[in-house]
Structure 1
Amino acid sequence: MAGVVGNQELRRPAVLALRTLAVATCYYAAGRLGLLCRLTVEGAVFTPVYPSTGVALACLLVFGLGCWPGITLGALFLVLSLGAPGPDAVGILLGNTAGPVCAYLMLRRVGFRPDLSRLRDGLALVFLGALAAMVISSGIDVVTLILAGKLDTTHFWPIWLAWWVGDAMGVLIVTPVLLVLFETRGPPSLARWKEVLALAAVAAVLVPVATHSSLSALFLVYPLLIWAALRFRLAGSMLCALFASVTATVAATDGVGAFARLSPVGVMLKLQLFNGSLALTALLLSAVITEQHNTRRSVAEACKELAEVLEHLTAHDSPAGRAPPEAAEPRSERGTR
């Protein structure tokens, strides 16, 4: 017995270390992917969609608050990969850790469910996890860079807005996808693979055309998003939203299609409005559809249980379920007849 307890005590630090390293690796990899597409606003370089914030919040929601050292470690790896760190690195690490942690605490406070099966969960993720909490991370990061002399104070608000929206888009687009992948128990049934392949084929053709066409046809993405939400709910809609957001971000950084001949600020505003409306539509529409599906299923189960109860009561009250009248009479009376 003592040996088992000792093995468990030794296993816990090992599991914690491996989990911390895994979270740090995922955070660093997501950050490097996000840095592949960058925009410049008032001389400051930022990522329109910073996926590391989405990865950090998803890890907190899945593994709990104890994985925050992995977020800090991943942010440190990312800072070191960009060059020799200075005193401002401490503020960057603080901001990148504080934002997701505050988002996690606020979501836990309102009873958030990671399966996003209710409309209130989608609204909480949007307004608390993305819009409110990322004010903290972006504010700390931008103030740190200003104090370090790397940013001009006269352009604080445009830079902060671009930083804040990039962090918020990471939560809105990346976090739901990771939560869906974690909650998924298996692939779709064989009967639905044809529709899955059809949806993927249409998305592979329609999304690049909509984002890279000079006709500014970004609106063509929304019917595809509605189809995915109606048929595959959160998994389909968020994967389509992620693909459309990445494709639009590439077009924006290249300055082609719907983002051609725009100023840097105009590119940033148009891209983030598209990404924001895309994520909100996918998240809230799929949450409403899932909630209605769960409500119908609950009503159907309640009706089935009620029918079983009525059938049971009817069986007891039927003539076949009752004893014959003479069987219920006293023996003495039957003998006198």
Structure 2
Amino acid sequence: MAAVVGIQEQRRPLGYAVQALAVATCYYAAGRLGLLRRLTVEGAVFTPVYPSTGVALACLLVLGLNCWPGIALGAFFLVLSLGTPGPDVVGILVGSSAGPVCAYLMLRRAGFRTDLGRLRDGLCLVFLGALAAMLVSATVDVVTLVCAGKLDAARFWPIWLVWWVGDAMGVLLVTPVLLVLLGARWPPRLSRWKETLALVVGAAVLVPVATGSALSALFLVYPLLIWAALRFRLAGSAPCALFASVMATIAATDGVGAFTGLSHVEVMLKLQLFNGSLALTALLLSAVITEQRNTRLSVEEACQELAEALEHLSAHDHPAGRAPPQDGQARRAEDER
């Protein structure tokens, strides 16, 4: 028995190391993908959606707080890939790790469920996980850059705002998709494969047209998003919202479609309003539909149990071969006998 315990203790640090490397790899890969498309605001370059924050929060929700070193390691590799790190890298690592960790702690305190099957779960992810917690990461990172002399203090608020919004969009758009993938049944059931195929084809055709059209037709995405939420709940609406956000970000960084002729600030503002409305619609509508469905199933199950209980009681009150009395007179005659 002692030998078995010793082997488990030896394997535990190795397991933590492998987990940290896996989290760091995912964080780094997501960050590099996000940096493929950038916008310039007040002379600073930003990614409109920073998917690494969504990856970090999803890892914390699934693996627990022990995976935070992997987040810091992934952030270090990402900073290292952008240039030679200076003393300010410590502050960047603290901010990159503190935001997702604060989001995890607040969501856990609020009783958050990773299946996002309740409206309160969607609201918690929006207001606690994204909007509130990402204030920490944005503030620490931007203050660090100002103190290091890499950022003019006069441009603090505009840069802080776009930094915060980019981190928040990463949580709102990426975390739900990862939670759906990690919680899905594999292999998935294809009972509605025709409708699934129709939704995929519709998104592949409609979303590029809506984001790339010069007619500013971004609103065409919402019927598709509502269809996905009504029929497939979060499993359909979250990937649809992420795909629409990616296509809109490509159009915004290229300055085409609905973003033609706009200034950098106007492009960022329009894009983030679109991304935010997409994420809110996908999360909250799917949560409401899932909650109503679960309530209906609970009521049906309770009715079924009640019917079975009444049938069981009726069988005990009236033995086989003896019919129950039909009216009050028959009941009295039965009593007299």
Question: Aligning the two structures, in what range does the TM-score lie when normalised by the shorter sequence?
Answer: over 0.9
Tell me the residue number matched to 1:233: 233
Q: Give the letter aligned to residue 63 of structure 1.
A: L
Tell me the residue number matched to 1:313: 313
Tell me the residue number matched to 2:185: 185
Moved more, 93-102 or 150-159: 150-159
Partner Cα distance (1:114, 1:15) in 2: 24
Instruction: Spell out the pairing of 1:49-88 with structure 2 (5 A cutoff).
Output: 49-88=49-88
Q: Give the letter aligned to residue 170 of structure 2.
A: G
Partner Cα distance (2:130, 2:87) in 1: 28
Partner Cα distance (1:86, 1:319) in 2: 87
- Superposed displacement of residue 188, structure 1: 4.1
Partner Cα distance (1:251, 1:45) in 2: 17
Q: Are 1:58 and 1:179, in contact at CA under 8 Å, matched by a contact in 2?
A: yes
Tell me the residue number matched to 1:199: 199
Tell me the residue number matched to 1:10: 10
Tell me the residue number matched to 1:19: 19
What value does the CA root-mean-square deviation take over the aligned residues?
Answer: 1.2
Q: Are 1:315 and 1:321, in contact at CA under 8 Å, matched by a contact in 2?
A: no
Q: Give the letter aligned to residue 273 of structure 1.
A: L
Partner Cα distance (1:276, 1:82) in 2: 28
- Superposed displacement of residue 54, structure 1: 0.3
Q: Does 1:109 align with 2:116?
A: no
Partner Cα distance (1:6, 1:319) in 2: 64
Tell me the residue number matched to 1:326: none
Q: Give the letter aligned to residue 140 of structure 1.
A: V
Residues 218-239 of structure 1 deviation map (CA, whole Å, 9 limit, x = unaligned): 0000000000001110010000
Q: Give the letter aligned to residue 124 of structure 1.
A: C
Tell me the residue number matched to 1:260: 260
- Superposed displacement of residue 247, structure 1: 0.4
Q: Are 1:95 and 1:140, in contact at CA under 8 Å, matched by a contact in 2?
A: yes
Q: Are 1:55 and 1:175, in contact at CA under 8 Å, matched by a contact in 2?
A: yes
Partner Cα distance (2:70, 2:319) in 1: 71
Residues 187-207 of structure 1 deviation map (CA, whole Å, 9 limit, x = unaligned): 443331111111000000000
Distance change (3 Å), C-alpha of 1:187 and 1:210: farther
Distance change (3 Å), C-alpha of 1:44 and 1:161: same
SS at match of 1:137: helix
Tell me the residue number matched to 1:332: none
Q: Give the letter aligned to residue 226 of structure 2.
A: I
- Superposed displacement of residue 156, structure 1: 1.2
Residues 7-54 of structure 1 deviation map (CA, whole Å, 9 limit, x = unaligned): 111111111110000000000000000000100000011110000000
Partner Cα distance (2:187, 2:294) in 1: 20
Tell me the residue number matched to 1:328: none
Partner Cα distance (2:48, 2:210) in 1: 19
Instruction: Spell out the pairing of 1:1-337 with structure 2 (5 A cutoff).
Output: 1-320=1-320
Q: Give the letter aligned to residue 24 of structure 1.
A: A
Q: Give the letter aligned to residue 171 of structure 1.
A: V
Q: Are 1:60 and 1:101, in contact at CA under 8 Å, matched by a contact in 2?
A: yes
Partner Cα distance (1:29, 1:236) in 2: 24
Partner Cα distance (1:52, 1:188) in 2: 26
Q: Give the letter aligned to residue 218 of structure 1.
A: L
Q: Give the letter aligned to residue 42 of structure 1.
A: E
- Superposed displacement of residue 2, structure 1: 2.1
In structure 1, runs of 5+ residues without a counterpart are 323-337
Partner Cα distance (1:41, 1:319) in 2: 82
Q: Percent identity?
A: 81
Partner Cα distance (1:211, 1:75) in 2: 31
How many pairs does the alignment contain? 323
Partner Cα distance (2:316, 2:136) in 1: 66
Tell me the residue number matched to 2:334: none
SS at match of 2:23: helix
Partner Cα distance (1:89, 1:119) in 2: 38
SS at match of 1:261: coil
Partner Cα distance (2:274, 2:104) in 1: 26
SS at match of 1:191: coil
SS at match of 2:45: strand
Partner Cα distance (2:186, 2:150) in 1: 48
SS at match of 2:132: helix
TM-score scaled to structure 2, two decimals? 0.94
Q: Give the letter aligned to residue 289 of structure 2.
A: I
- Superposed displacement of residue 282, structure 1: 0.2
SS at match of 2:191: helix
- Misfit runs of 4+, over 6 Å: none
SS at match of 2:320: helix
SS at match of 1:150: coil
TM-score scaled to structure 1, two decimals? 0.94
Residues 126-183 of structure 1 deviation map (CA, whole Å, 9 limit, x = unaligned): 0000000000100111111111111111111111110000000000000010011111
